[in-house]
Chain A
Amino acid sequence: AQKVTQVQTEISVVEKEDVTLDCVYETRDTTYYLFWYKQPPSGELVFLIRRNSFDEQNEISGRYSWNFQKSTSSFNFTITASQVVDSAVYFCALSAYTGGGNKLTFGTGTQLKVEL
């Protein structure tokens, strides 16, 4: 069975602070994919990133960066110089490609509040 754990239920920061959202996963699959999605107050999930299990290179996209460590089964997400517009619920998700599709297993989400 797959499981995704986001231990931080809610994080509050002041604008321009850096913030890291933790994600730990469990899976028995050898090939899998990890995702981060953003859910702003409007409710619609926005895709942020997908990583393959065999590619542990960290990735940076503007103020966003992701640290994938297979040894600790973690896929953490850092926002540098946070902004009020970053306020949202962030979900980490896992899927295994078994030939039957890639249904996602989601964590319970981390509510990020960025204040002025």
Chain B
Amino acid sequence: GAGVSQSPSNKVTEKGKDVELRCDPISGHTALYWYRQRLGQGLEFLIYFQGNSAPDKSGLPSDRFSAERTGESVSTLTIQRTQQEDSAVYLCASSSQSYEQYFGPGTRLTVT
């Protein structure tokens, strides 16, 4: 079946511009996660959605970052007024009740 998909695969933006990153989870997965991976580093948790519960935003690095999810479908991660330190690969994952998280291919964001 289809895995987690993300778009765009690559995004180059100028400092100060806003960007939107999209994630389509695996159908039927109730949980959706966003992570950030800076070059040569591990993944940092950003935000988590579970069904209709309030999202866990504890990993968002600043108020320039926000995310939305409609029901148990698509999620959008928005970064406002991008900075160079926002350059990273943004990874989305989804899971069902089995706790394994399945990751998408990521969006590589470059802020110039």
Residues of A in contact with B (beta carbons under 8 Å apart): 4, 33, 35, 37, 42-45, 47, 50, 91, 93, 95, 97, 100-109
Question: Residue-by-residue, is B47-64 near A (CB-CB < 8 Å gives 1, otherwise 0)?
Answer: 010100000100100000
Q: State the majority secondary structure of interface residues on A.
A: loop
Within the assembled complex, what's the spacing in Å between the Cα atoms of A45 and B43?
Answer: 11
Are A101 and B56 interface neighbours, CB within 8 A? yes
Closest A-B pairs by Cβ, 9 of them: A106-B42, A45-B103, A106-B43, A108-B42, A103-B45, A101-B48, A44-B105, A47-B100, A101-B50
Chain B interface residue number, banded: 20 to 34
A108-B106 contact in complex given A43-B89, A45-B91, A50-B99, C-beta closer than 8 Å: no
Are A97 and B42 interface neighbours, CB within 8 A? no
Smallest distance from the beta carbon of A14 to chain B beta carbons, Å? 24
Are B42 and A109 interface neighbours, CB within 8 A? yes
- 27 sampled A-B residue pairs with Cβ under 8 A: A33-B99, A37-B103, A42-B105, A43-B89, A43-B105, A43-B106, A44-B103, A45-B91, A45-B93, A47-B102, A50-B98, A50-B99, A50-B100, A91-B42, A97-B99, A101-B31, A101-B48, A101-B56, A102-B95, A103-B45, A103-B48, A103-B59, A104-B33, A104-B43, A105-B45, A107-B42, A109-B42
Between B43, B44, B50, B104, the greatest number of chain A beta carbons within 10 A of the residue's beta carbon is seen for B43
Nearest residue (CB) in A for B3 is: A44
A104-B102 contact in complex given A43-B89, A45-B91, C-beta closer than 8 Å: no
Are A47 and B101 interface neighbours, CB within 8 A? yes
| Inter-chain contacts of A107 with B (CB < 8 A) | 42
Nearest residue (CB) in A for B105 is: A44
Within the assembled complex, what's the spacing in Å between the Cα atoms of A101 and B100?
Answer: 11
Within the assembled complex, what's the spacing in Å between the Cα atoms of A44 and B105?
Answer: 5
Within the assembled complex, what's the spacing in Å between the Cα atoms of A63 and B87?
Answer: 36
